């Protein structure tokens, strides 16, 4: 949070011709984008229906849901073949990785369990994270050769996103778990066309679909329907609808697409995709600073809820908006469906931008638009509703002893990075999920020039030491000054390499593979509040993100692909008592934080492109948000100093 086509400029890359060709090929994926399921009966408006015979209820967070457990049986089996192929390609010398996976293929608990987490950071996080996902995807053209990491996505069990990273995850799954390349190449202009600001409305083929005033009329009409149906509104309704035009469907913003419909799509039913999770924080209206011990909520295709003791429960995502009382639907009450609009869920995880929407009447938007939405902003601004409103509270009178919102009929959520945990690690370190390694893609804007310094890792580490941790463990993380002084934010770094350090606990935490945003071929540190980006710059950041994740396809460090394989295998080797290959020991010596600390004040971090800078001009526009972005930066400086 603290907190884009490249047809004529690739000749400027200071790399060999083969590397240039590979980069060009990686951008040539063209396919039609088919969307998920528009299964809400009344579009954006939630509908009341008769509850099923087995009425939905709140379940305890003491275990995984039966749905997730059953899905995992299919998914873990589906990861075996791609994992074998990937590891065999990564050149772990003197170790038959493919045979190792084959030997343990009948014991899922022995096999590596992989998670991927994509941080927040607006469109910067979406595009940089998209580069990592594209690099990890075997469906990307020419992505399964030497130095390439294609297949890691197919080997992963979980994929979590937060704020801008949540837009990436949500958009991929709302488009039937399509590829990043397909979304880039969708020339119909229906998705991922960021040339028009989300504040202006979408265009198709360079022609705006409708003028901005009409665009806002559509937004307000949709959310008015929700209000007329008796549901409370928040700024997130407006923000989520706007996001949907860029991330789901430019024609009408996909008002009927629900987040729970992911569970009905073929890639998810067949378990050929990872398990998607979005993250948000709990917050009471009027609360300004979000503490590190705030309740963290997750949204997945089956459920929404929290593992934290301050809630410790989950409800079916499909039935959000239903009146749950003391864990059950009162006799005679109807169930609600359609509340979990996909845009609303993505907007919930990124509600940091609500504060900007509350300032719309003070920007240089036309007077006609100010008047159109002025009444809405006045109504919900008076109650300080710069949040996502999940009234009725699904955890009302549930877990009365520890649930901080048990006596409130409202549940209000905000951007998942407002507690400084800007990488969605929380759902992936839960002991019940038994994840071995997390590839943590960090696009945070922690430094003066919008580069990450692992503040998100520090926040997750510190939270794991608190009483709210729910028995989660997290590897030791040094302070941010050490991260910068040791250059750990300039290249991938492993945290938690020595599993024997954790044997006294009830379980071993995942190995964290920290992948911080860095400039390889472009300055990918655009402002979090950049609201429009042309296709050239969009694609440049995605290409840069591929290089960040692969260290330039192994050209910056030839050992990196092998070391990725070692990271994947590390916890599994420990569990099965298998000797660590010598090449992996060398990898850990190279990429693991060795415990050194240097907390002195670092120099200003101003990195230069590692492979030579692409000649990208006219990157995007922030004309509508410069004043507010500066104010937001100042406010965040206050937050981080607390």
pLDDT digits (tens, 9 = 90+) for 268-281: 999 999 999 999 99
pLDDT given at position 119 = 98
d(CA 203, CA 183): 15
Residues 6+ apart with CB under 8 A from 407: 396, 397, 400
Supply the Cα-derived Rg of the chain in whole angstroms: 23
Cα(178)–Cα(556) distance, integer angstroms:
29
At 205, list the tokens: 């083929």
For residue range 410-428, what is the model confidence (pLDDT) as tens digits?
999 999 999 999 999 999 9
- The mean of the pLDDT values for the chain is 86
pLDDT score for 285:
60
pLDDT interval class at 207 (50, 70, 90) = low
Q: Is the pLDDT reported for residue 465 higher than 80?
A: yes
Residue 367: per-residue pLDDT = 58
The pLDDT of residue 488 is above 90: yes
pLDDT at 208 over 70: no
**For residues 375 and 111, which has the higher predicted lDDT (pLDDT)?**
111
pLDDT tens column, 531-583? 888 889 999 999 999 999 999 999 999 999 999 999 999 999 999 999 999 99
Q: Which residues contact 475 (CB under 8 A, 6 or more apart)?
A: 461, 495, 496, 509, 511, 512
pLDDT-based confidence at residue 378 (cuts at 50, 70, 90):
low
* Total residue length of the chain: 642
Rounded to 5°, the CA angle 540-543-544 comes to 85
Extract the tokens encoding 323.
């009146």
Is the Cβ–Cβ distance between 143 and 132 less than 8 Å? no
Is the predicted pLDDT of residue 26 greater than 60, yes or no? no
Q: Residue 381: pLDDT above 80?
A: no
Pull the structure tokens for residue 501.
């350090």
User: What pLDDT does 482 receive?
Assistant: 98
Average pLDDT in the 315-331 region? 97
With cut-offs at 50, 70 and 90, classify the pLDDT of residue 198: confident
Q: What are phi and psi of 628, to 5 degrees?
A: -70, -35
- On the question of pLDDT at 629 being above 70, the answer is no
Summarize the confidence of residues 324-346 as an average pLDDT: 97
> Residue-wise over 369-395: b if at least 16 C-beta within 10 A, else e?
beebbeebbeebbeeebbbbbbbbbbb
pLDDT band at 622 (very low <50, low <70, confident <90, very high): very low
Rounded distance, CA 278 to CA 159, Å? 9
Helices 66-78 and 80-89 meet at what angle, rounded to 10?
Answer: 40
C-alpha 46 chain-centroid distance: 25
Average pLDDT over residues 99-110: 94
Higher per-residue pLDDT: 499 or 618: 499
**For residues 318-322, average pLDDT:** 98
**pLDDT score recorded for residue 212:** 72
Residue of 421, 476, 496 lying closest to 160 (CA atoms): 421
CA 437 to each of CA 117, 523, 565: distance values in angstroms, whole numbers, following the listed order: 11, 28, 11
Q: Specify the range with the lowest mean pLDDT, choosing from 17-26, 368-377, 546-555.
A: 17-26
Contact 40, 337 (CB under 8 A): yes
Q: Does the pLDDT of residue 380 top 90, yes or no?
A: no
Domain architecture of the chain: domains with CATH:
10-26+66-522+533-641 (3.40.1090.10)
- Measured in degrees and rounded to the nearest 5, phi and psi for residue 66 equal -60, -35
Distances (CA, A) of 167 to 127, 175, 453, 497, 540: 10, 12, 22, 31, 18
- What's the pLDDT score for residue 640? 39
Q: Which of 67-81, 238-252, 410-424 has the lowest mean pLDDT?
A: 238-252
**CB distance 115 to 515 below 8 Å:** no
Q: How does DSSP classify residue 476? A: -
pLDDT band per the 50, 70, 90 thresholds, residue 621 = very low
| Average pLDDT over every residue of 96-119 | 96
- Which of 78-92, 192-206, 469-483 has the least mean pLDDT? 192-206
**C-alpha distance across the termini of the chain, in Å:** 16
**For 30-39, 139-148, 389-398, which range has the lowest pLDDT when averaged over its residues?**
30-39
- Residue with the larger pLDDT of the pair 75 and 203: 75
* Continuous H helices in 5-94: 17-26, 66-78, 80-89
Q: What is the 3-state secondary structure (H, E, C) of 178-240?
A: CCHHHHHCCCCCCCCCCCCCCCCCCEECCEECCCHHHHHHHHHHHHHHHHHCCCCCCHHHHHH
What number of other Cβ atoms are within 10 A of residue 362's Cβ?
Answer: 10
CA neighbor of 540 nearest in space, from 113, 182, 26: 26
Q: What is the pairing mode between strands 114-118 and 275-282?
A: unpaired
CA 11 to chain centre: 32
Residue 389 confidence (pLDDT) above 90:
yes
Cβ atoms within 10 A of the Cβ of 108, count?
17
Q: Which residues, other chains included, contact 70 with Cβ-Cβ below 8 Å and sequence gap of 6+?
A: none
């Amino acid at each position: 949070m603290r907190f884009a086509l490249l047809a004529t400029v690739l000749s400027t890359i200071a790399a060999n011709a083969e590397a240039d060709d590979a980069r060009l090929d990686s951008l040539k994926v063209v396919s039609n984008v088919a969307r998920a399921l528009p299964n809400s009966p009344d579009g954006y408006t939630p509908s009341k229906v008769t509850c099923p015979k087995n009425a939905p209820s709140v379940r305890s967070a003491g275990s995984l849901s039966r749905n997730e457990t059953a899905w995992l049986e299919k998914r873990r089996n589906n990861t075996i073949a791609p994992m074998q192929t990937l590891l065999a390609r990564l050149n772990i010398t003197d170790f038959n990785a493919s045979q190792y996976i084959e030997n343990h293929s009948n014991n899922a608990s022995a096999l590596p369990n992989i998670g991927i987490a994509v941080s927040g950071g607006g469109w910067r996080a979406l595009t940089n994270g998209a580069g990592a996902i594209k690099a990890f995807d075997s469906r990307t053209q020419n992505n399964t050769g030497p130095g390439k990491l294609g297949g890691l996505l197919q080997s992963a069990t979980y994929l979590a996103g937060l704020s801008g990273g949540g837009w990436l995850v949500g958009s991929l799954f709302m488009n039937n778990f399509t590829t990043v390349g397909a979304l880039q190449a969708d020339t119909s202009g229906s998705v991922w066309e960021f040339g028009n600001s989300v504040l202006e409305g979408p265009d198709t083929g360079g022609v705006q679909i409708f003028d901005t005033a009409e665009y806002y009329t559509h937004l307000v009409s949709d959310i008015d329907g929700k209000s007329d149906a008796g549901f409370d509104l928040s700024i997130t309704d407006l923000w989520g609808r706007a996001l949907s035009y860029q991330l789901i469907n430019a024609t009408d913003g996909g008002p009927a697409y629900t987040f729970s419909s992911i569970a009905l799509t073929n890639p998810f039913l067949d378990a050929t995709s990872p398990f998607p999770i979005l993250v948000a924080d709990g917050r009471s209206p009027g609360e300004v600073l979000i503490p590190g011990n705030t309740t963290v909520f997750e949204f997945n295709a089956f459920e929404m809820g929290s593992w934290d003791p301050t809630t410790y429960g989950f409800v079916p995502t499909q039935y959000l908006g239903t009146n749950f009382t003391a864990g059950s639907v009162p006799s005679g009450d109807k169930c609600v469906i359609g509340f979990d609009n996909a845009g609303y869920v993505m907007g919930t995880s990124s509600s940091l931008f609500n504060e900007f929407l509350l300032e719309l009447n003070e920007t240089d938007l036309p007077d006609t638009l100010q008047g159109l939405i002025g009444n809405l902003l006045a109504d919900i601004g008076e109650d300080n509703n710069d949040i996502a409103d999940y009234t009725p509270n699904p955890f009302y009178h549930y877990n009365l002893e520890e649930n901080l919102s048990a006596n409130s009929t409202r549940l209000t959520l905000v951007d998942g990075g407002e507690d400084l945990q800007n990488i969605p690690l929380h759902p992936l370190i839960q002991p019940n999920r038994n994840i071995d390694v997390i590839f943590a893609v960090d696009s945070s804007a922690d430094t003066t020039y919008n580069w990450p310094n692992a503040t998100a890792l520090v926040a997750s580490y510190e939270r794991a030491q608190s009483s709210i941790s729910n028995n989660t463990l997290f590897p030791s993380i040094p302070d941010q000054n050490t991260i910068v002084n040791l250059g750990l934010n300039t290249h991938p770094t492993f945290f938690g390499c020595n599993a024997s350090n954790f044997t006294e606990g009830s379980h071993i935490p995942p190995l964290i593979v920290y992948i911080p945003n860095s400039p390889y071929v472009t300055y990918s540190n655009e402002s979090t509040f950049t609201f429009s980006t042309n296709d050239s710059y969009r694609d440049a950041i995605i290409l840069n993100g591929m290089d960040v994740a692969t260290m330039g396809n192994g050209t910056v460090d030839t050992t990196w692909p092998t070391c990725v394989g070692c990271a994947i295998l590390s916890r599994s080797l420990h569990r099965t008592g298998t000797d660590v290959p010598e090449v992996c020991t060398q990898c850990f010596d190279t990429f693991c934080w060795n415990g050194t600390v240097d907390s002195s004040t670092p120099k200003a971090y101003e990195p230069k492109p590692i492979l030579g800078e692409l000649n990208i001009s006219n990157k995007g526009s922030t004309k509508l948000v410069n004043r507010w972005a500066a104010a937001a930066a100042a406010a965040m400086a206050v937050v981080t100093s607390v």
